[in-house]
Amino acid sequence: MPCIRIAAAGDLHADLRVRARIDDAFGHVDGAADVVLLAGDLTAHGEPHEMEVVVEACARLNVPVYSVLGNHDYHADKVDELTTILEQAGVVVLERSWETPSINGVTLGIAGTKGFVGGFPGSTLPDFGEPLLREVYAETGKDVAALDRALEEIDECPLRVVLLHYSPTMSTLVGEPESIWTYLGTNRLDGPIQKHRPDLVLHGHAHAGTFAGAIGTVPVYNVAVHVMRRDFFVFELDTDAPDGHGAHLEATV
């Protein structure tokens, strides 16, 4: 039965102080996974020298790496530079986009985008009022549309994963103060997920949230390292799973 081992982590918040730990973590994941997915906030403050710490660690891997960026990676307004650093190291950066690599002879569809704020029932940011607020609403709308398009494009792939930084569900935010949930993600992102029902959804950002959640029958995991309390978690996706929703927790690194 063809399966793919996905090592996932978010919120590395790399800087020079944690270089040794990150280097060690990536060293351990090589050989334990077929592909690595990074769920954003790779850097502490979005500085290029911090991203160099990440790519030096990625150089230890012999498997492909896909990543979205997080809000910390945007902080210094150097996203283009950071993206170039990642791409030159062979890391594929997903932003309102998708990829369909062949891994272990299986096509893995990866729909990825940072996502954005917007809130959840009871705390939603409306499309109303000041232009700046409506701009935030519209920006999230672009992510929702892009995620829908990406999932449409990978619909035929036997295994499909969504990679986000912000959360598309409240179920993985439990533990965070409810007063900040509006800034941790939005259920507007769950529309495309409910429609296309991928095998697995991964996100980060909510450092004090909950590891395992769901959108309907679709498993969602908050892979922020602070939540996992480990450097990576390995998910095994199985193409022979009964209903096509084949995410199994197999191993940790």
Judged by CB under 5 A, the stretch of 14-22, 62-70, 122-130, 142-150 that binds Fe ion is 62-70
Residue 73 or 238: the one with the smaller Cβ distance to Fe ion is 73
Residue number, 11 or 50, with CB nearest to Fe ion: 11
Q: Of residues 29, 37, 41, 54, which one binds Fe ion by CB under 5 A?
A: 41
Say whether residue 205 binds Fe ion (CB under 5 A): yes
190 in contact with Fe ion (CB under 5 A):
no
Considering the complex, state which of residue 41 and residue 50 has its C-beta at the smaller distance from Fe ion.
41
E strands, the chain, in order: 3-9, 35-39, 65-68, 92-93, 97-99, 102-103, 106-113, 159-164, 200-203, 212-215, 218-222, 233-238, 247-252
As given in the structure block, the two tokens for residue 71 are: 């809000």
Give ∠ CA 162-166-167 in degrees, rounded to 5: 75
Binding mask 3-22 for Fe ion (x = CB under 5 A): --------x-----------
In the chain, the N- to C-terminal Cα span, in Å, equals: 23
Asked if 196 is part of the footprint of Fe ion (rule: CB under 5 A), the reply reads no
- Subset of residues 213 to 252 that bind Fe ion, contact rule: CB under 5 A: none
What track of x and - describes contact with Fe ion for positions 102 through 131 (by CB under 5 A)? ------------------------------
Q: Is 73 in the site for Fe ion (CB under 5 A)?
A: no
Q: Does residue 143 interact with Fe ion by CB under 5 A?
A: no
Question: How many other CB atoms sit within 10 Å of the CB of residue 137?
Answer: 19
**Residue 176 binds Fe ion, judged by CB under 5 A:** no
- Only segment of 67-75, 91-99, 105-113, 183-191 that touches Fe ion (CB under 5 A): 67-75
Residue 232 near residue 33 (C-beta atoms within 8 A): yes
Cβ-based neighbour number of residue 73 at 10 Å: 29
Q: Find, among 108, 130, 127, 141, the residue nearest to 35 by Cα.
A: 108
Answer for the pair 19, 53: CB distance below 8 angstroms, yes or no: yes
Contact between 71 and Fe ion per CB under 5 A: yes
Sign, Cα dihedral of 59, 147, 69, 171: negative
Interaction between residue 70 and Fe ion (CB under 5 A): yes
185 part of the interface to Fe ion, by CB under 5 A: no
Q: Give me the least distance between CB of 204 and Fe ion, in Å please.
A: 6
Tokens of 181: 């949930």
**Toward Fe ion, which CB reaches closer, 19 or 226?**
226
Q: Cβ closer to Fe ion: 204 or 246? A: 204
Number of residues that bind Fe ion (CB under 5 A): 5
Residue 47 and residue 66: Cα distance in Å, rounded? 19
Q: Which residues pair with 66 in a beta bridge?
A: 37, 92
Summarize as ranges the residues that interact with Fe ion (CB under 5 A).
11, 41, 70-71, 205
